[in-house]
């Protein structure tokens, strides 16, 4: 009797190698089951900001253009387009339909973009529409939305005037905020728009049929989609909603979901179960942001240089984070960005930080002299409340103390408090990250321009601003990339930030599910072209 | 007729000597408390708990003087080590960047698409593999567009079992890879898979390597393992730091952290429960004894405290006490814990008091003129001891874990100061692969709880007046 | 009895009002901006957001608006999920948490009473020591460990059977509810076991037990009629708050087992400073707690005739 008890108690720890028959990917029905990390908070494309909502919207809606399997821009609702320094024209196809049977027209785009820019909509992604002429003024309330320089010449022709030459504009239109919205439907729903599955109409490869909040939702193939022949899956059922990676791994092992991300702990379990682990670099860059406001100790360049000379990004990536997929942080610009012809980082290699303790100590001494304080007061490192953040912060604390004798106080704050402190400038160093909004260097480049509200450290460098303006106002790739290369150098020379790492993730995918694409921008993972094989 | 007169003399009226002791008290009379104390001292459970307490005290107070290791020192060469004997390592020079091997005259991309390609040949290490880096090279494969590199900790059984995807090379002519990902001195099984630039071909080549345990001269001299960073020492073997209980996720010594964590955890885990249980007892006792409006008012206030959202008020307390960022706020946390935890005990005690006050002996004592304070202290509360001690037993781990949670949100101890509760929190993440990080702090918490449990049992027996020794 | 209930309900309403007010004040004093997000927005948009949520009015005015709405039963729209009314959130998710919680209490109560009685009967013998050991383990190990282990156990069982027999996560059937409620109830079960034990040990020495034995009643009758009924009293006392605690404290279990309960909202709302959800859930839970306490107190009066309330 007691032995049975002991056996039951030990059962969880014993790793069983037998496999369960998976029901998550069905060849006959071509239906897959997935899990979402959280309940999508906002399915109104004009306002959505978070990854889960964007994931959903990218599968059930479509914009002027879309990304194909290889990550290149392909026709979406628009069949053709052309663009020059000051304008763009899109010719829409005549068979793109909404799920209620009506056709998608150019008017739907005009309405959606005007609506997204209306100040009363309070869209946080309105800024992505700013390349449109007058967009920024409308968003500031200085102009009426009807003055947006976007016109539907007829039902299938969209003429756009640009505020300034924007070489990457076409790529922007693949983003959720640029998706069309049918005016009559939107107005008929009022406050209830996007509240439930039946409060939306869909023009994408799938449509949502059920939504049990916080529990599950179902997407099925949209038979009215213009390219339905390319879509193999008949349904994507999100039957579970939980953020716990271990729970999702357990669901995967139990054959209930086709996909799960792994973290530093769960990957070891996945290894023992002999699952195929895949790797993907998410495109987000993590860095330490200094407080450059006058009066702050970290506004002193020599202090920052001292820290730059002792921080070994390889040690952080290989020993502290210790999951595959992460790349050492060498620059604000991640490796996947395109340059003129090749990758940006290959054409403009990042200046490499040299680990030099003697040099670092010299810088530190100069800093102490300039600031008139020796030893320096403790620095406050502001971090979020995620476990990885805490680990990194402790590592930095130990590193700076042992190598430079600097005292670091770790300030752990929950999300909103951290943001508030960042905006108020209530920190010395903050552990920050930035994910790309669109597929162009500019999404990282303008981050530290002095007018950018996201530049919470208030870094102010006129030379930096100048280069950003050059890149913003030109559509000539070489000129823009040169300017960005210059920015990269400035950030290094001035040690304005300290890049830590480029985030990578490892994940599991059902072996019979092929054609899933992982993207840096847009829906990730993208199941649009996926299929279940025998 | 006999003469019935009794003649009395003066001697008859002499006092009788009371020299015979009639009643010898066999032992001195004991009060209730004295009796309880004597019985407690003899109680096995209480003695056991005493030993545990003594051990914990020695561990906490004397431990750091005996085991002089800095609990915040990060030994990144020995991350998450299980308990073991001291390991040896060879000294090496600083890490030098390696540009890898790119073969000339070999196309990066194939000219056409190949259905299948040959598996990689010539897979070997570029130089001796150490825990600083493992450098692999191989021969290029015709028709490939790149290679994927995997690493497993046991022999791969088939194509799906290759292990961790370490990285890729971009082009068939890039035929090298450097692995530095948390290398330990254990067998690794590397596999190279050729790709067409996007998708993999289903062939692989495997190589087994056990890197040598090494440490750079600079690091070793920084940590005092060797006298100087003189480079002539390269190639010598030294012993790395010894960690009897292993290390945590940043290479910090577990034993030292447990000792430092003991201070915080035991302080909070003992002082906080004692205080709020005492408060709860007084509060609940008063409410239960007096009843009526006093009871109603007191209990509604207790309900109110329980219903407040915990996290919100914790954040508020932190602000109110002006704890700066990254500073330890032990006393404010103590206060906060106490202020929010007493209602549970109060409620329990009140329930007991309601029951007891209807007992006969209470009424008897009242008739004898006992005041409420006397009644509460002498009669009622000792009889609620059972319930009180149970609450105490549970209050201890509850306080420890609440403290861990509070430290996590920035109130309480600031990193890198450890506490048993926060060590448990961290240990849970690596529960299955490095169980020692969770087991040790959990065991210490269990032991503390056990001590209280046993003490509680002993006290209950000692205070039970029915078991009081009879003459 | 009726008068008593009415008085308690009235007092309950006042308590809930206090809870709402205290929470409201605390919420507005906590630093952090509910409207601030990763992407900074222009001043114009900011103003619009504030207007939309009524945050541009002075705090006292906001309080009275909130009170007014609360009396009408309207808690507004969530800040983070702008398409859902707080009432809908509570209405959709509370029943799930309640079911989970009640099932957990059921396990905890039956288990606690059973084990507690066992340890008292077999005092100082093998069952007592084993159970007490498990109890100590149960409270020294944090709850998320049990949740993770519990789920792992299910995964292993399914692996051994080759089929997914018991669901490892999700919600819907009774099979989904078993493991989560068991894990959720563990802490309370340990507490109740310990309470029962000490309670039983006290009762077993009482005079009336001796009288009953002297009268010749069978041990079973004594056990159920007298011992159990008296020993249960402390258990009942904390049952009220424990029910409320379990229903609100299900956060970890809901996360690990992907259960669409209210516990997750409760915690995340504070982290994200979602004012409306914080107020809605706090007031709701406060009312629930007060109700539970009243119910249990009335129940207590029935079980223990000595404690008929004044």
Q: Is C264 on the interface with B (CB under 8 A)?
A: no
A385, A391, A398: residue with CB nearest B409: A385
DSSP3 helix / strand / coil % (chain A, rounded to 5): 35, 20, 45
Chain C, 163-182: which have a CB under 8 Å from a chain A CB? Answer: 163-164, 167-171
Q: Would you call B203 helix, strand, or coil by DSSP?
A: coil
CA distance A376 to A429: 14
Mean pLDDT of all residues in chain B?
Answer: 83
From B267's Cα to the closest Cα of chain C, the distance in A is 17
B152, B250, B410: residue with CB nearest A394: B250
B162, B198, B250: residue with CB nearest A398: B250
Residue B211 DSSP label: P
Residue A483's Cβ-count burial label (10 Å; 0-12, 13-18, 19+) is buried
Task: Report whether pLDDT(C310) > 50.
Answer: no
* N-terminal to C-terminal alpha carbon distance within chain A: 46
Q: ipTM for the complex?
A: 0.84
Q: Check CB contact under 8 Å for B311 and C202.
A: no
In the prediction, which pLDDT does B66 show? 87
**What is the number of CB-based contacts under 8 A between chain A and chain C?**
179
The tokens for A90 are: 């899109």
Residue A69's Cβ-count burial label (10 Å; 0-12, 13-18, 19+) is middle
Residues C102-122 have pLDDT tens digits of: 899 999 989 888 888 888 877
Neighbours of B372 (CB within 10 A): 13
Q: Check CB contact under 8 Å for B312 and C241.
A: no
Residue B61 DSSP label: I
Neighbours of B91 (CB within 10 A): 22
Q: What percent of chain C has pLDDT over 90?
A: 5
CA distance B86 to A204: 61
Which stretches of A62-154 are DSSP H helices?
Answer: 106-117, 135-139
DSSP3 helix / strand / coil % (chain B, rounded to 5): 50, 10, 40
Give the residue-averaged pLDDT of B298-317: 83
The tokens for A56 are: 């959903």
Q: Is C236 on the interface with B (CB under 8 A)?
A: yes
Beta strand A429-434 with A379-383 is: parallel
Cβ-proximal residues to C33 (8 Å cutoff; 6+ apart), any chain: A416, A419, A420, A423, C273
3-state secondary structure B166-182: EEEECCCCECEEEECCC
Residue A129 DSSP label: G
For residue A286, what are the β-bridge partners?
A433, A501
Q: Is A416 on the interface with B (CB under 8 A)?
A: no
Which of C305, C297, C300, C303 lies closest to C5, judged by CA?
C297
Q: Chain centroid to CA B361: how far?
A: 45
Task: Report whether pLDDT(B469) > 60.
Answer: no
Which of C61, C63, C56, C17 lies closest to C34, judged by CA?
C56
Q: Check CB contact under 8 Å for B162 and A279.
A: no
Q: Check CB contact under 8 Å for B164 and A506.
A: yes
CA distance A445 to B214: 41
B162, B249, B409: residue with CB nearest A414: B409
Task: Report whether pLDDT(C223) > 80.
Answer: no
With the C-alpha atoms ordered A212, A215, A221, A226, is the resulting torsion angle positive or negative?
A: positive
Of A276-280, A319-323, B190-194, B311-315, which range is least confident? B311-315
For residue A25, what are the β-bridge partners?
A32
Would you say C159 and A257 are in contact if contact means Cβ atoms under 8 Å apart? no
From C20's Cα to the closest Cα of chain B, the distance in A is 9
Beta strand A235-241 with B237-239 is: unpaired
- For residue A68, what are the CA distances in angstroms to A409, A515, C237? 47, 11, 64
In the prediction, which pLDDT does C136 show? 84
Residues of B in contact with C266 (CB under 8 A): 309
In the prediction, which pLDDT does A236 show? 95
From A142's Cα to the closest Cα of chain B, the distance in A is 40
Q: How confident is the model at residue B471 (pLDDT cuts 50, 70, 90)?
A: very low
Give the containing element (helix H, strand E) for A58: helix A51-60
Task: Report whether pLDDT(C250) > 50.
Answer: yes
Q: Which residue of chain A comes nearest to C166, CA vs CA?
A: A254
For residue B247, what are the β-bridge partners?
B253
Which of A475, A518, A448, A468 lies closest to A166, judged by CA?
A475
Cβ-proximal residues to A103 (8 Å cutoff; 6+ apart), any chain: A94, A95, A96, A97, A155
Task: Report whether pLDDT(B35) > 80.
Answer: no
Which of B328, B331, B347 lies closest to B413, judged by CA?
B328
Task: Report whether pLDDT(B74) > 90.
Answer: no
Would you say A487 and A468 are in contact if contact means Cβ atoms under 8 Å apart? yes
With the C-alpha atoms ordered B363, B364, B365, B370, is the resulting torsion angle positive or negative?
A: positive
Residues of A in contact with C31 (CB under 8 A): 417, 420-421
In the prediction, which pLDDT does A14 show? 58
Residues A313-351 have pLDDT tens digits of: 999 999 898 888 899 999 999 998 988 888 899 899 999
The tokens for C86 are: 């707080």
Residues C69-108 have pLDDT tens digits of: 888 888 888 888 888 889 989 998 989 988 998 899 999 9
Neighbours of A182 (CB within 10 A): 20
Residues C268-288 have pLDDT tens digits of: 888 788 888 989 988 988 888
Q: How many CA atoms lie within 13 A of A468 on its CB side?
A: 19
B73, B165, B315: residue with CB nearest A279: B165
For residue A157, what are the β-bridge partners?
A91, A154
Q: Check CB contact under 8 Å for C93 and A123.
A: no
Q: What angle do helix axes C126-140 and B436-463 make, rounded to 10 degrees?
A: 130
Residues B210-253 have pLDDT tens digits of: 999 998 888 888 888 888 777 788 888 888 888 889 898 888 99
In the prediction, which pLDDT does C179 show? 92
From C239's Cα to the closest Cα of chain B, the distance in A is 10
Would you say A63 and A178 are in contact if contact means Cβ atoms under 8 Å apart? yes
In the prediction, which pLDDT does A17 show? 57
CA distance C252 to C145: 10
The tokens for A195 are: 């509240």
From A424's Cα to the closest Cα of chain C, the distance in A is 10
Which of A249, A242, A253 lies closest to A263, judged by CA?
A249
Q: Check CB contact under 8 Å for A382 and B165.
A: no
CA distance A249 to A270: 8
Residues A257-281 have pLDDT tens digits of: 999 998 877 888 788 888 888 888 8
Q: Which residue of chain C comes nearest to B45, CA vs CA?
A: C124
From C205's Cα to the closest Cα of chain A, the distance in A is 31
Max intra-chain CA distance, chain C: 85
- What parts of chain A have a pLDDT lower than 50? 1-5
CA distance C116 to C191: 10
Give the residue-averaged pLDDT of B424-451: 86
In the prediction, which pLDDT does A2 show? 45
């Amino acid at each position: 009797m007691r032995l049975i008890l002991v056996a039951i108690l030990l059962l969880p720890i014993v790793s069983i190698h037998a496999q369960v028959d998976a029901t998550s990917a069905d060849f006959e029905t071509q239906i897959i089951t997935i899990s979402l990390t959280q309940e999508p908070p906002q399915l109104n494309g004009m306002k959505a900001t978070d990854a889960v909502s964007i994931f959903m919207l990218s599968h059930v809606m479509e914009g002027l253009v879309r990304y194909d399997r290889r990550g290149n821009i392909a026709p979406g609702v628009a069949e053709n387009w052309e663009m020059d320094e000051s304008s763009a024209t899109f010719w829409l196809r005549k068979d793109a339909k909404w799920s209620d049977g009506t056709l998608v027209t150019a008017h739907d785009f005009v309405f959606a973009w005007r609506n997204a820019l209306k100040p009363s909509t309070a869209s946080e992604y309105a800024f992505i529409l700013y390349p449109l002429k007058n967009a920024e003024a409308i968003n500031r309330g200085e102009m009426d939305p009807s003055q947006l320089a976007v016109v539907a010449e007829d039902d299938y022709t969209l003429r756009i005037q640009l505020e300034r030459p924007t070489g990457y504009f076409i790529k922007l239109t693949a983003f959720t905020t640029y998706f069309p919205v049918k005016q009559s439907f939107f107005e008929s729903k009022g406050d209830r728009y996007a509240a439930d599955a039946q409060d939306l109409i869909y023009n994408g490869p799938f449509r949502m049929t059920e939504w049990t909040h916080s529990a599950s939702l179902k997407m099925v193939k949209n038979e009215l989609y213009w390219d339905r022949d390319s879509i193999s899956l008949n349904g994507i059922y999100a039957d579970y909603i939980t953020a716990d990676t271990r729970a999702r791994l357990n669901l995967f092992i139990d054959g209930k979901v086709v996909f799960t991300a792994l973290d530093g702990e769960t990957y070891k379990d996945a290894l023992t179960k002999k699952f195929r682990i895949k790797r993907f670099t998410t495109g987000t860059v993590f860095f330490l942001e200094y407080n450059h406001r006058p009066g702050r100790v970290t506004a002193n360049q020599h202090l920052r240089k001292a820290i730059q000379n002792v921080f070994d990004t390889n040690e952080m990536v290989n020993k502290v984070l210790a999951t595959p997929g992460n790349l050492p942080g060498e620059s604000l610009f991640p490796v996947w960005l395109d340059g003129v012809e090749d990758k940006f980082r290959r054409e403009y290699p990042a200046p490499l930080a040299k680990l030099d303790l003697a040099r670092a100590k010299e810088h530190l001494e100069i800093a102490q002299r300039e600031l008139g304080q020796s030893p320096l007061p403790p620095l406050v490192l502001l971090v979020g409340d995620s476990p990885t953040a805490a680990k990194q912060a402790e590592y930095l604390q130990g590193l700076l103390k042992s190598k430079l004798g600097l005292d670091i106080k770790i300030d752990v704050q929950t999300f909103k408090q951290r943001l508030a402190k960042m905006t108020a400038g209530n920190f010395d160093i903050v552990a920050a990250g930035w994910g790309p909004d669109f597929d162009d260097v500019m999404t990282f480049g303008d981050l530290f321009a002095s007018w950018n509200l996201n530049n919470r450290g208030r870094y102010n460098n006129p030379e930096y601003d100048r280069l950003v303006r050059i890149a913003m106002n030109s559509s000539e790739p070489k000129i823009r990339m040169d300017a960005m290369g210059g920015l990269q150098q400035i950030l290094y020379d001035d040690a304005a930030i300290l890049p830590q790492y480029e985030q990578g993730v490892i994940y599991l995918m059902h072996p019979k599910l092929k054609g899933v694409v992982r993207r840096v921008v847009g829906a990730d993972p993208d199941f649009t072209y996926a299929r279940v094989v025998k | 007729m006999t003469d019935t007169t009794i003649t009395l003399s003066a001697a008859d009226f002499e006092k009788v000597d009371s020299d015979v002791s009639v009643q010898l008290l066999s032992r001195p009379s004991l009060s209730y408390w004295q009796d309880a104390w004597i019985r407690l001292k003899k109680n096995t459970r209480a003695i056991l708990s005493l030993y545990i307490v003594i051990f914990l005290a020695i561990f906490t107070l004397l431990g750091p003087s005996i085991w002089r290791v800095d609990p915040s020192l990060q030994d990144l060469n020995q991350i998450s080590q299980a308990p073991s004997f001291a390991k040896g390592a060879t000294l090496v020079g600083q890490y030098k960047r390696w540009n890898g091997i790119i073969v000339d005259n070999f196309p990066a991309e194939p000219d056409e698409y190949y259905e299948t390609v040959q598996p990689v040949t010539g897979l070997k290490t570029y130089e001796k593999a150490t825990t600083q880096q493992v450098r692999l090279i191989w021969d290029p494969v015709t028709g490939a567009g790149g290679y994927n590199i995997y690493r497993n900790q046991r022999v791969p059984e088939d194509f799906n079992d290759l292990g961790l995807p370490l990285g890729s090379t971009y082009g068939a002519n890039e035929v090298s890879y450097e692995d530095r990902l948390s290398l330990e001195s254990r067998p690794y099984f590397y596999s190279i898979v050729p790709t067409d630039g996007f998708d993999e071909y289903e062939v692989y080549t495997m190589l087994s390597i056990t890197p040598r345990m090494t440490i750079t001269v600079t690091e070793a001299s920084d940590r005092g393992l060797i006298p100087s960073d003189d480079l002539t020492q390269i190639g010598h073997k030294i012993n790395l730091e010894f960690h009897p209980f292993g290390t945590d996720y940043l290479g910090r010594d577990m034993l030292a952290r447990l000792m430092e964590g003991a201070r915080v955890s035991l302080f909070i885990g003992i002082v906080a429960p004692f205080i709020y249980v005492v408060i709860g007892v007084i509060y609940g006792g008063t409410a239960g004894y007096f009843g009526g409006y006093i009871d109603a008012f007191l209990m509604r206030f207790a309900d109110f405290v329980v219903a407040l959202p915990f996290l919100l008020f914790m954040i508020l307390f932190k602000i109110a006490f002006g704890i700066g960022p990254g500073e330890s706020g032990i006393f404010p946390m103590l206060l906060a814990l106490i202020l929010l935890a007493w209602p549970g005990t109060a409620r329990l005690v009140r329930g007991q008091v309601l029951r007891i006050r209807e007992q006969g002996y209470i009424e008897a004592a009242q008739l004898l003129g006992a005041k409420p304070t006397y009644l509460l202290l002498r009669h009622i509360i000792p009889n609620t001891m059972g319930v009180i001690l149970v609450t105490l037993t549970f209050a201890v781990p509850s306080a420890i874990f609440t403290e861990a949670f509070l430290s996590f949100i920035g109130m309480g101890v600031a990193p890198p100061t450890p506490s048993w509760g926060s060590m448990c929190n961290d240990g849970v993440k690596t529960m299955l692969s490095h169980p020692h990080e969770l087991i040790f702090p959990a065991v210490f918490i269990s032991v503390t709880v056990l001590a209280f449990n046993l003490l509680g049992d002993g006290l209950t027996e000692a205070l039970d007046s029915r078991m009081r020794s009879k003459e | 009895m009726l008068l008593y209930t009415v008085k308690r309900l009235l007092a309950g309403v006042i308590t809930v009002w206090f809870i709402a007010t205290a929470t409201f004040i605390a919420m507005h004093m906590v630093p952090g901006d509910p409207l601030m997000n990763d992407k900074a927005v222009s001043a114009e948009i900011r103003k619009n957001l504030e207007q939309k949520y009524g945050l541009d009015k002075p705090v006292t005015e906001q309080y009275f608006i909130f009170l007014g709405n609360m009396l009408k039963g309207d808690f507004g729209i969530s800040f983070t999920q702008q398409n859902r009314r707080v009432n809908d959130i509570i209405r959709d998710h509370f029943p799930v948490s309640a079911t989970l919680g009640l099932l957990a209490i059921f396990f905890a109560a039956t288990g606690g009473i059973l084990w507690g009685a066992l340890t008292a009967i077999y005092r100082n013998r093998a069952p007592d020591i084993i159970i007490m050991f498990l109890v100590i383990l149960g409270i020294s190990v944090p709850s998320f460990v049990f949740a993770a282990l519990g789920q792992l156990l299910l995964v292993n069982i399914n692996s051994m059977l080759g089929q997914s027999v018991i669901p490892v996560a999700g919600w819907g059937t009774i099979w989904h509810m078993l493991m989560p409620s068991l894990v959720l109830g563990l802490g309370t079960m340990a507490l109740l076991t310990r309470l029962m034990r000490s309670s039983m040990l006290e009762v077993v020495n009482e005079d009336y037990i001796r009288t009953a034995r002297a009268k010749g009643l069978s041990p079973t009758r004594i056990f159920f009629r007298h011992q159990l009924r008296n020993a249960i009293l402390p258990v009942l006392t904390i049952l009220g708050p424990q029910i409320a605690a379990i229903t609100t404290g299900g956060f970890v279990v809901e996360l690990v087992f992907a259960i669409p309960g209210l516990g997750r909202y409760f915690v995340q709302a504070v982290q994200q400073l979602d004012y409306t959800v914080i107020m809605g859930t706090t007031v709701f839970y406060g009312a629930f707690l007060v109700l539970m306490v009243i119910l249990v107190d009335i129940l207590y009066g029935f079980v223990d005739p000595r404690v008929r309330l004044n």
